[in-house]
Structure 1
Amino acid sequence: MKNITTLIITLSLSTLLFSCQEKKVEEKTKRPNIIYIMSDDHAYQAISAYDTSLIHTPNIDRLAHEGMRFDHAYVSNSICSPSRAVTLTGKMSHFNSVKDNLDVFDSTQITYPKILQNAGYETAIVGKWHLKSQPTGFDYWEVLPDQGDYYQPDFRTPNGMINEKGYVTDIITDKAIAYLDKRKKNEEPFMLMVHHKAPHREWMVAMEHLQAFKDQKIKQPATLFDDYKGRGKAAQEAEMRISDHMGLTNDTKVEPEIRDAKGFKPFMGWYDFAYSKNLKRMTAEEKAKWEEVYGPINEDFKNSDLKGKELTAWKYQRYMEDYLGTLVSVDENVGRLLDYLDQTGLAENTIVVYTSDQGFYLGEHGWFDKRFMYEQSFRTPLMVRWPGHIKAGSVNKDLVQNIDYAPSFLEAAGVEIPTDMQGASLLPLMEQKKTDWRDALYYHYYEYPGIHGVKRHYGIKTKRYKLIHFYYDVDEWELYDLEKDPDEMQNVYTDPSYAEVKETLHQKLKDLRKQYGDSDQLTQEMLKADLKRLEELGLN
């Protein structure tokens, strides 16, 4: 009897142990949910996981502390619409239908949301779309029209346009959480894209954060007063200098009447329209709060006599107060979403990504905006959390790019990656497995002639060097030794001591262009088509 009892207990324990092991295997192999959070123009310098000198972002930092921070993440074309198209398709701009912000995304092509949807995922997007065509491949979508608005934003939906009351970053997060809440009992995995408008120009801050940086002296970058002597026409002629091209009205919030009385003229005609448009979207209560903060700023400017470098420094301070102010809301709302995942138990089997559609200049080289292949524009933040797969607090220093996101999500979901996707899955890097990874990145920017006057260019980057070719109305080559010149102040292309490096990089550039299907012939064909389009639109 005793032996029979012992046998029964042993069998019971064995069954229980096997059941537990089976459950663990099932949990580990269960397809993960995916939440892809992308802000707009969020510079890596403005995330404290990367740099603590400008802002503290504890909630975004959580993803770095609990997952992996990528220190060498880059884009393939530093401008809003093209970057979004690259992310969706895993293809470079010359293959995905969107080279610049005038192009319309071909929504009939294959994207990773469509592939996931066909594989049994529920797919959704809320927030900024900025691709002109209607979103496809999503079971649920509510997106901002074009750039969207910070206050009382409109949203495009399958049933038409709707208007929401409040601040856009809060509302996008509300919609994301509401979507997750409605599908609580759903068994199928989900992929949710949360696309924030902030911190895109004109940097309109939530009412509760209007004074977040008002009394703080923002650290100036060492290159704020760059004279561009070490570079060619491309850097010298770009129209995104804080000193000359940043608007006093729409950007730094000076009233048009005060600006005019001081003798300043707007660089662009639409600056005043943008300023008044943003003010008109405020409620009476919001306008009163706005005036409490910006009224004294306008009065101080009215009574000042700012010129030259003093004016540039003032505009930089005002720019950064508002830019960073919008990011306080982004960080808070990332925290809200992460807290929701924790509270509902979703965090355990959900990949959470935080990135931006590109980098941004925060006064470096005297600039705002992006577009260039220079570091602050080209590089983007990227943090990924995936419990059980990514070691908490890990840091990756490989060269990764936004063409890699789509194949990464597909592999994580156990779905076959299409052969025409040009990126590589980041999963081996996330799981810290040995892999034969790339040693160089390819970049190509097309939007010229266009706003900000950044000339067309393509190039490659290795860990140490960067080779760039500017073309169209110039034919200039630039070479930077990032180890000796991290600020990219001195072009060493004609320096004899870099002759061997230059030869190697030219060959590597040739090889990468062939690998990605780009060429001088294709570039010229696209250029002709673009110029014809600009002529038809009366923009050239």
Structure 2
Amino acid sequence: MKSLRTLFFTFCCLVLCGNRANANYVSDTVVSPVKKVEKKPRNVIFILTDDHRYDYMGFTGKVPWLETPNMDKLASEGAYLPNAFVTTSLCSPSRASILTGQFSHSHTIVDNQAPDPGNLVYFPQYLEKAGYQTSFFGKWHMGDHGDEPQPGFTHWESFPGQGVYYNPTLNINGKRVAYKDSTYITDLLTEHAVDWLDNRDKDKPFFMYLSHKAVHAAFKPAKRHKGKYKGKRIDLPSTYDQTKTGEYRDLNWPQWVADQRVSWHGVDYMYHGNDGIYDKVVDYCETLLGVDESVGTIMEYLKKEGLDESTLVIYMGDNGFSWGEHGLIDKRHFYEESVKVPLLVRCPELFEGGKKPEQMVQNIDIGPTILAEAGVKQPDNMPGVSFIPILTGDTNAPSRKEVFYEYYWEYDFPMTPTVFGMRTDQYKYIKYQGIWDRNELYDLQNDPDEMYNLIADPDKQEIAKEMSTAIYDWLESTNGMQIPLKRTIKYSTGDFKHKNEF
């Protein structure tokens, strides 16, 4: 196997060489003059879902009874990238990484409360500067931000925080509009998105960002889908029972994983309720059906208008989701089902359909990919790369040989420690900070379920050392060698209030 130190050097040369020493984020909110490259601007639609794990789609066969015909069609006519990862498996940090093209420690929105520091530039701002008409529909949820319009979007519709599934209130370009009569959020956002497409300026290229609340807990399907999968069951994962039986000790798993089994994010006390995992999965899958129909509605509009061949459509999740693996649910950890996300891409003008490339991509690649297709030069402070060459078969284009991961301990969810990690095609190394416990090393080729922790294996010590060193090298080269702290104030009532400082 090629030296991990060599792999990291390649990563730095291909991805980070353009970064300035202090260019973690743009110094102010003024967008620099856009440098165009010789390319016709392409229309782009980016669809983002919440907590949708990478393999919960009909065509993957993971859940035999799950039907997602529109996602299946998107994959067959385009591409499914099975090795798509986020840099942090949590709503706000991941969304910030998508919009800024930066790691969490760079944009500093490290959890769901951390505020926008006020000096970030989002990639749609560059599109708007280049003459695009841009729009945003749905969940923003960037730290403690509300529903107010954000820079880079000529049309804006959003709601504060997680929002609600039924009868939402939308901030539409600064004016709040309340919806009643059992209005379902997925349907409403889709309807408004199509209306905007239909009434846009036909002489300008467009970028639309459709950001669904679904399928975030507490899962609530559209009324037409409620009960469709009642009584259905999934096959429990191979690592479901180990923390319950104590076998995790023989497998060298960390103690914190076993302790979390009876917590908010554990299978024996899911969200502090007594509902079984099967019922929760059914609610999740039924909620996903509305998203699949939304995809179909968008694609039908493009076809009707003759835009389906030339428009780049990207479907992605903001983070993955565990359904019992290692006795856990939800996200945050660096196990595959938490860090992997669905990534579907379609554009017949660019590449033929039916592709399933194995190369690794990350959410920090979304901005560079869209900017490249818009003919806009990628800013130096974005360490990602366009993944279109992977789909067009350009073997000379840079590709990622490893992905890095970070998650910072949250006061509200103290069960999961601070995590740093690295993954190659063969190995995954997970390093914990601030907890007296063991780290983890998995051979993904021979142990895809991440059952056998090899951190104590004498034959794997050099690999563990090299990967640990590479993580520190990555953090140091991207100004990430500090952990952002958050001030917490406890009141006499027992309530907690958070003030984020960086």
The separation in 1 between residues aligned to 2:388 and 2:489, in whole angstroms, is: 41
Q: Which residue of 2 aligns with 1:36?
A: 46
The separation in 2 between residues aligned to 1:461 and 1:534, in whole angstroms, is: 37
Residue identity matched to 2:125: K
Query: Which of residues 181, 186, 189 is equivalent to 2:202?
Result: 186
Which region of structure 1 is more displaced relative to structure 2, 394-403 or 500-509? 500-509
> Residues 234 and 470 of structure 1 are in contact (CA less than 8 Å); yes or no, is this contact kept in structure 2?
no
Where does 1:22-421 land on structure 2 (aligned, <5 Å)? 29-54=39-64, 55-106=66-117, 108-131=119-142, 132-133=144-145, 134=148, 135-165=150-180, 166-183=183-200, 185-227=201-243, 228-229=248-249, 230=251, 231-238=253-260, 239=263, 240-248=265-273, 252=275, 315-421=276-382
Which SS does the other structure have where 2:314 is aligned?
Answer: strand
Which region of structure 1 is more displaced relative to structure 2, 482-491 or 353-362? 482-491
> For the aligned residues, what is the CA RMSD?
2.0
The separation in 2 between residues aligned to 1:318 and 1:217, in whole angstroms, is: 8
Residue identity matched to 1:65: S
The separation in 1 between residues aligned to 2:190 and 2:359, in whole angstroms, is: 31
Where does 1:450-529 land on structure 2 (aligned, <5 Å)? 450-451=412-413, 453-474=415-436, 476-519=438-481, 522-523=482-483, 526=484, 529=485
Q: Please state how far the C-alpha of 1:439 moved relative to its aligned partner.
A: 1.2
Q: Please state how far the C-alpha of 1:221 moved relative to its aligned partner.
A: 2.3
Q: Please state how far the C-alpha of 1:535 moved relative to its aligned partner.
A: 5.8
Unaligned runs of 5+ in 1: 1-27, 253-314
> Residues 469 and 475 of structure 1 are in contact (CA less than 8 Å); yes or no, is this contact kept in structure 2?
no
Q: Please state how far the C-alpha of 1:52 moved relative to its aligned partner.
A: 4.2
Q: Which residue of 2 aligns with 1:538?
A: 496
Which SS does the other structure have where 1:212 is aligned?
Answer: coil
The alignment covers a number of residue pairs equal to: 441
Q: For residues 74-98 of structure 1, give each alpha carbon's deviation from its aligned partner in whole angstroms, at most 9, with x where no partner exists.
A: 0000000110000000000111130
Q: Please state how far the C-alpha of 1:518 moved relative to its aligned partner.
A: 1.9
Q: Percent identity?
A: 34
Which SS does the other structure have where 1:355 is aligned?
Answer: strand
Using structure 1 for the length normalisation, give the TM-score.
Answer: 0.78
Residue identity matched to 1:383: L
Which SS does the other structure have where 1:460 is aligned?
Answer: strand
* Larger helix proportion of the pair: 1
Q: Please state how far the C-alpha of 1:245 moved relative to its aligned partner.
A: 3.5
Which region of structure 1 is more displaced relative to structure 2, 232-241 or 39-48? 232-241
Which SS does the other structure have where 1:425 is aligned?
Answer: coil
Using structure 2 for the length normalisation, give the TM-score.
Answer: 0.84
> Residues 442 and 513 of structure 1 are in contact (CA less than 8 Å); yes or no, is this contact kept in structure 2?
no
Q: Which residue of 2 aligns with 1:448?
A: 410
Q: Please state how far the C-alpha of 1:220 moved relative to its aligned partner.
A: 2.5
Q: For residues 325-358 of structure 1, give each alpha carbon's deviation from its aligned partner in whole angstroms, at most 9, with x where no partner exists.
A: 1011111111111111111112122110011001
Which region of structure 1 is more displaced relative to structure 2, 174-183 or 55-64? 55-64
Q: For residues 5-32 of structure 1, give each alpha carbon's deviation from its aligned partner in whole angstroms, at most 9, with x where no partner exists.
A: xxxxxxxxxxxxxxxxxxxxxxx95311
The separation in 1 between residues aligned to 2:489 and 2:89, in whole angstroms, is: 20
The separation in 1 between residues aligned to 2:434 and 2:458, in whole angstroms, is: 27
Distance 1:534 1:443, change over 3 A: farther
The separation in 1 between residues aligned to 2:185 and 2:408, in whole angstroms, is: 30
> Residues 422 and 516 of structure 1 are in contact (CA less than 8 Å); yes or no, is this contact kept in structure 2?
no
Q: Which residue of 1 aligns with 2:30?
A: none
